[in-house]
Structure 1
Amino acid sequence: MAAPIIRVGNTDKEVSKDLCQFVIDKATSSIQERGTFTVGVSGGSLVKYLCNGLPSSKTDWTKWRIFFCDERHVPYDNSECTYTLYKTGLVDKVGMPPENIFPINPDLSVEDAAVDYEKKIRLVFPETDIPRFDLLLLGMGPDGHTCSLFPGHQLLEEKTRIISPIKGKADIVQRVLEGKEEVLLPAARVRPTNGDVIWYLDKGAASKLKNI
């Protein structure tokens, strides 16, 4: 297993610029190689970074396919709906076809919405048992949870990228990246099967790391 790659920005602007450039570079290579770019996004601070930095970037937005690594089971007009934040903050701004972003169906029950969402994913990845996205962007909570998987949960190990731009998470970032936990925190269990794990941190979030 490759060691995580850690990238630290001195300011929010630096983190956003570095992260968005990485996303665009990945999109460019994926589109050149396969004709599409499949990306999973999360909510929280990540929305601000992507919606501030990506709209001015040059890419073929018609080739993007945006899914959600986690999402609240709320109506689209709810202020906590991650889909709507990306729809208004990115998709509408760049003229991306609305069918290229895949929201959950909040009119269904939680269980039925999950089944329905898997069907949507299978339409884009029809030939694979386990869909392999070009890029996954995950956040991390103050308890080390990621992708709505909390400590003590059975976790999947996925190829992913993580952004944690909050100074208050310095302790948990240190535990995840350098700690010797007997039972790994969820964010520490995000491991690549074929690819890299890259952490984008601001200076505050990285302040307690000893090995950078």
Structure 2
Amino acid sequence: MEIQSFDTSDEVVNALCKLVESYSNDSVRERGLFKIGLSGGSLVDYLSKGLPGISTEWDKWVVFFCDERVVPFQDADSTYGAYKKKLMGKVPLDEKNFVPINPNLTAEDAAKEYIDKLKKHFPDCKWPEFDLLLLGMGPDGHTCSLFPDHPLLKEDNVWVAPINDSPKPPPSRVTFTLPVLNNSRGCIFAITGEQKVEVFRKICKKAANFPAGLVLPTNGKVHWLMDKKP
């Protein structure tokens, strides 16, 4: 675990995007593509602000979603819709770089179809190995759509799982499972505000079993960037 604290949220954004730049260039040099998973929430604004300033081979990016709400892309809750609105046009990424879910299906069918899409990019493996996953954390310690004490935390058979009882609306979503997160080459959490940093302190003290604290890549690194002293 690598922890970096900064004085301002702008510095967190800069550090986040510098790490993305480094991972992307290493991945393209070593494997020819950069396979990245994005999350929603505040990360959309962070990346829309910071990514236009990095140097990378954008045409080598393949962008997936660590979780997604099963709503139309035009809906304000759609993560893909948010990136389409806020990031596309600021950087040379367009629809062909993204691998979204099918929002017209049930959560169960959308999860199955997304697994099929992933297997075209990660053939012949037990778990996909992403170059980088960008993760958020809620004030309850959830990450992706993996919530505290939810049965999905024990899911170890599928890459993408449906959830229809999300405690945070909207209730229907699809999410990467913990084995997928922990098989990545790198994960980055970028958190701001005292409330979330306090959750991180509890994670470090093992004071509670927060889902975000279960993200510990087996052969990769997890980076925590924050705007308060941990």
TM-score normalized by the length of structure 1: 0.89
How far apart are residue 144 of structure 1 and its match?
0.9
AA of the residue aligned to 1:14: E
Give deviations 1:108-131, integer Å, cap 9, x for gaps: 111111111111111111132210
Mapped pair 1:163 → 2:190: yes
1:87 alignment partner in structure 2: 84
AA of the residue aligned to 1:26: Y
Give deviations 1:55-92, integer Å, cap 9, x for gaps: 23221111001111111111111112110121232233
Decide whether the 8 Å contact of 2:191 with 2:197 is kept in 1.
no
In structure 1, runs of 5+ residues without a counterpart are none
AA of the residue aligned to 2:142: H
Mapped pair 1:195 → 2:195: no
Structure 1 stretch displaced more, 152-161 or 102-111 = 152-161
1:174 alignment partner in structure 2: 201
CA distance in 2, matches of 1:13, 1:171: 20
Structure 1 stretch displaced more, 170-179 or 190-199 = 170-179
How far apart are residue 9 of structure 1 and its match?
1.6
**Mapping of residues 9-48 of structure 1, within 5 Å:** 9-48=6-45
Structure 1 stretch displaced more, 132-141 or 167-176 = 167-176
CA distance in 2, matches of 1:180, 1:173: 10
**Mapping of residues 136-151 of structure 1, within 5 Å:** 136-151=133-148
AA of the residue aligned to 1:15: V
Mapped pair 1:5 → 2:8: no
AA of the residue aligned to 2:137: M
Q: Give 3-state SS (helix, strand or coil) of 1:54's partner.
A: helix
Q: Give 3-state SS (helix, strand or coil) of 1:38's partner.
A: strand
CA distance in 2, matches of 1:188, 1:51: 26
How far apart are residue 103 of structure 1 and its match?
1.1
Q: Give 3-state SS (helix, strand or coil) of 2:4's partner.
A: strand
* Aligned-residue CA RMSD (Å): 1.4
Decide whether the 8 Å contact of 1:9 with 1:202 is kept in 2.
yes
Q: Give 3-state SS (helix, strand or coil) of 1:46's partner.
A: helix
Q: Give 3-state SS (helix, strand or coil) of 1:162's partner.
A: strand
In structure 2, runs of 5+ residues without a counterpart are 155-177
How far apart are residue 196 of structure 1 and its match?
0.9
How far apart are residue 93 of structure 1 and its match?
2.5
Q: Give 3-state SS (helix, strand or coil) of 1:16's partner.
A: helix
TM-score normalized by the length of structure 2: 0.82
Q: Give 3-state SS (helix, strand or coil) of 1:75's partner.
A: coil
CA distance in 1, matches of 2:106, 2:213: 31
Decide whether the 8 Å contact of 2:192 with 2:226 is kept in 1.
yes
Q: Give 3-state SS (helix, strand or coil) of 2:29's partner.
A: helix
CA distance in 1, matches of 2:217, 2:92: 32
Decide whether the 8 Å contact of 2:71 with 2:78 is kept in 1.
yes
